[in-house]
Amino acid sequence: MAELAGYVAVNSLGLGHASRAIAIARELQRRHPDVYLFFLAGSPALDLAVSHGFDAMPLPPTPEWFHEDGRIHSMWRWYWEYARYVRFATRFLRKEADWDRFRFLISDGEMASVRLAVKRRIPTVVLAHSVGQRFGGGLATRAFEATGRWWMRSLLAAKTVRVLALEPGVDLPNATYVGPIVRPFSFSRERLRDDLVFRKRTVLVAPGGTSLGAFLIDEAIRAWRDLHTEDAQMIVVTGPKIPAPKAEGVFWKGFVPNLQDYVCAADLVITMAGKGTMYEALAAGTPVIAIPLKGHPEAERNLRAANLPYAYEDAFRLRDLIPAKLAEPHPPPRDLGPAKAVAAIEDFLAGQGVPL
């Protein structure tokens, strides 16, 4: 019997999309060991997929937002760059993708692959938090957003597509709400603390896989120096896009493939309000300070859904917030595993004639 193979395509703006897709891919392979999954991703998502043992083909990197000190600006320029990315990635995949061998596509936010899969009637699962973006702003930005929503809706409404909604309110008839998804932790918190040699209370600063959180690292270090907390340590994970500053009194790490284990082992996590590290902290039951980017509607929705009371301005109040959060007991962990999403994928592919 021929091996069943499928593509897993991920948006490479940060590492949240790739982390979620890896959780789903691993659960699929646990249930169906004979299924071969091949990742399509730009850097740094490509590196994360490969570090977890998946074969992968490089796509062009998704353009990063224009930002300064945690504030997003010039969204019309980003939409222009993103449209160029989709055109370039589409041309690349037309030449390189093997749709005869790979019989289905799972896409986490990567729309060039969806565009081609729909055209070729390939069964496609799309993980989406919304249909298009709504950053608002000037006339050019709103025009780009309106066009983008129309384009995305036309693709997602295809008969060969099933949408797995990460947030409520995705108003498509083929959408199934699955909620946030994170990678499972390797071991218990106690075992991870021992393996990572966390002998003191540990504050983990991990703003994500883009350069957007550089300002948060600066503010966290400034607050930590002022606090002079002798019975605790701060570990800063800069990720692949932020260079490590030459600062004393904290421990530095760059690209960490198993960041979810550090999150589980920590006593407090300071991060951005995305769907990656923030939700890993909620899944682990680790106290978290999650700072939204200024003017980012998705981050604000994430905070409301998680019942976390933070705002952009709290990045400049960490001297007060850190000791208060360290004094709190750990909240109960939440089940944010991929089981529901994988069950929906199995059901959809079986209905499309691709039984796993």
The pLDDT tens digits for 198-213 are: 999 999 999 998 899 9
pLDDT at residue 2, rounded to an integer: 60
Mean pLDDT of 95-110: 96
User: pTM of this prediction?
Assistant: 0.95
Inform me whether the pLDDT recorded for 51 exceeds 90: yes
Mean pLDDT of 76-100: 95
pLDDT at residue 350, rounded to an integer: 96
- Average confidence score pLDDT of the chain: 94
C-alpha to C-alpha distance for 218 and 311, rounded to whole angstroms: 17
The C-alpha R_g of the chain, in whole angstroms, comes to: 20
* Phi, psi angles (nearest 5°) of residue 25: -60, -40
pLDDT at residue 355, rounded to an integer: 86
Q: Which of 66-70, 103-107, 344-348 shows the lowest per-residue confidence on average (mean pLDDT)?
A: 66-70
- Tokens representing 76 are 């019309």
Q: What does each C-alpha distance from 39 to 49, 50, 172 come to in angstroms? A: 7, 9, 26
Residue 269 forms beta bridges with which residues?
Answer: 204, 288
pLDDT tier for residue 1 given thresholds of 50, 70 and 90: very low
Inform me whether the pLDDT recorded for 144 exceeds 90: no
Inform me whether the pLDDT recorded for 247 exceeds 80: no
pLDDT at residue 134, rounded to an integer: 80
What is the residue-wise DSSP string for 34-89? T-EEEEEE-TTHHHHHHHTT-EEEEPPPPPPPPEETTEE--HHHHHHHHHHHHHHH
Mean pLDDT of 122-151: 89
pLDDT at residue 149, rounded to an integer: 92
